[in-house]
Structure 1
């Protein structure tokens, strides 16, 4: 389903229907959605993303760009979420058991079960890769990954 959407978007960008997107086509489409880019910036963007050196973007190049943009957005979202926990404790780059408990309380989690700092230590220990008792951003990302699971 998503592939069909990206194929349609690519086809829309590909004004001359040659199966490739040139800098001018990229510039035209971005302008149509209100994005500002100079012709030089469009040419540089195409050159940077062109995988076969022909000066044009193929569908595969386009899909890699979309995927990379999605990953950047996920990283920004994770940094924002991490910052909520980090800021609440002033922990300086990590989530501590106290900051985790404080944020869970603010979110209303554990009101009925009265989550303790010790409970939070156990939660952190499940994802604490280096055993320092706190979660770094790297460990937080691993914890939030869909493939992670706690035992």
Structure 2
């Protein structure tokens, strides 16, 4: 794996962990309900970071157990379902901000049977969606560190600049070669989509 990819992944994790702490106090209008839920899931889960690949049965079981613990915390009345009011209340109790409208939207987005509540399976789907959103935020932060200001893409010059800041001096030709490996449309730069593909 090219060094620039490893550094980008480290930068994404570092930037995201510090920015997600800062975002905990933002208003609902500045972040989505799923982002709020993802941060809440991290606060309530005993593990710091989840392994998204869940490569072993024990890891998958631990992940399910962690989600069950979070679900049980949200399910204040113990009926096996989470209502929008319970969701909003739990987020508020843990110091987050989630309006009732946002709580209703979050529940509605994963409510497969249309009863206006989340059972455990539906809750798992909501948490998976929030994790995907978090990954996308991490990638956006990392991409922003490497992109040419305002251009919406990583150019050989912007890649060279960022690598130099990280103590890894490369020539423009080296940077062009790195970009070529993941430049799917051959335009000589990396779009966010190409960067996302590279990082997965």
Give the alignment's TM-score, normalised by structure 2. Answer: 0.63
- 1:4 lines up with 2:59 in the alignment: no
Q: 2:109, 2:126 within 8 Å by CA — same for their partners in 1? A: no
Q: Give the Cα separation in 2 of the matches to 1:3 and 1:22.
A: 20
Which of the two has greater helix per residue?
A: 2
Alignment partners' CA distance in 2, 1:44 and 1:107? 41
Distance 2:128 2:186 in 1: 33
Number of residue-to-residue matches in the alignment: 139
State the distance in 2 between where 1:117 and 1:37 align: 46
Larger radius of gyration: 1
Listed as ranges, the matches of 1:1-151 within 5 Å are: 1-39=62-100, 41-87=102-148, 90=149, 92-110=151-169, 115-145=170-200
**For 2:102 and 2:146, how far apart are their aligned partners in 1?**
38
**Unpaired runs of 5+ in structure 2?**
1-61
What is the aligned-residue RMSD (CA, Å)? 1.9
Q: 1:92 to 1:39 in 2, by over 3 A?
A: closer
Shift of 1:142: 0.5
The two structures have a TM-score, normalised by structure 1, of 0.81
CA distance in structure 2 between the aligned counterparts of 1:93 and 1:42, rounded to whole angstroms? 32
Of structures 1 and 2, the one scoring higher in RCO (CA 8 A, sep 6+) is: 2
